[in-house]
Copies of this chain bind each other. A is one copy, B any other.
Amino acid sequence: MLEVDKLSLNIPPTTKPRVVIIGGGFGGINLAKKLKCRDFQVVLFDKQNYHGFWPLLYQVATAGLEPDAIAEPLRKMFGSDDFEDFHFRLVRVTGINTAQKTVSTLIGDLAYDYLVIGTGTKPNYFGNEQVKKYSFPLKQIPDALNLRSQMLQCFEQANMTTDPEIRQSLLNFVIVGGGPTGVELAGALAEMRKYVLPTDYPGLDFSTMNIYLVEGLDRVLPPMSPEASKKTHSYLQELGIIMKLNTLVESYDGSIATFKGGEQVRTHTLIWAAGVAGALVDGLPPESLERGRILVNPYNQVLGFNDIFAIGDIAFMKTDEYPRGHPGVAQPAIQQGKLLAKNLKNIISNQPLEPFKYFDKGSLAIIGRNRAVADLPKNIHLGGFFAWVAWLFVHIAYLIGFRNKLVVLSNWIYHFFTYERGTRLIIRPFVRKGDIARQKFMNKYNEE
Contact = CB atoms under 8 A, between A and B. Distances in A.
Contact of A92 (B48, B407, B445): B445
Contacts of A89: 156, 159-160
Interface in A145-183: 145-146, 152-153, 156-157, 159-163, 166, 170
Contact of A73 (B68, B76, B141, B424): B424
A423 to B, nearest CB: 4
A160 B448 contact: no
Given A50-B425, A403-B414, A444 B4 contact: yes
Interface residues of A, number: 79
A3 B73 CA distance: 40
Given A4-B445, A66-B67, A76-B200, A142 B106 contact: no
B160 A91 contact: yes
Interface stretch (A5-13, A311-319, A336-344): A5-13
A359 interface: no
A350 interface: no
Interface stretch (A26-34, A216-224, A320-328, A426-434): A426-434
Nearest to A79: B199
Contacts of A8: 160-162
Nearest to A65: B68
Given A66-B67, A68-B422, A157 B2 contact: yes
A346 B212 CA distance: 51
A108 to B, nearest CB: 9
A18 interface: no
19 contacts: A1-B255, A2-B170, A8-B161, A9-B160, A10-B159, A10-B161, A10-B162, A47-B446, A66-B67, A67-B425, A68-B425, A75-B201, A89-B159, A89-B160, A90-B153, A90-B156, A90-B160, A122-B448, A403-B422
Contact of A75 (B48, B91, B406, B424): B424
A348 interface: no
Interface string A52-84: 000000000000001111010101100100001
A447 interface: yes
Interface in A182-220: 199-203
A437 interface: yes
Contacts of A254: 1
Nearest to A403: B422
Copies of the chain in the assembly: 2
Given A7-B157, A79-B199, A71 B1 contact: no
A370 interface: no
A49 interface: yes
A438 interface: yes
B68 A441 contact: no
A106 B444 contact: yes
Contact of A445 (B106, B142, B426, B437): B106
Nearest to A201: B75
Nearest to A200: B75
A420 interface: yes
Contacts of A201: 75
Nearest to A442: B1
Given A84-B202, A200-B75, A438-B1, A161 B6 contact: yes
A107 interface: yes
A268 interface: yes
A142 B429 contact: yes
B444 A71 contact: no
A437 B161 contact: no
Contacts of A90: 153, 156, 160, 426
A184 to B, nearest CB: 20
Interface string A225-247: 00000000000000000000000
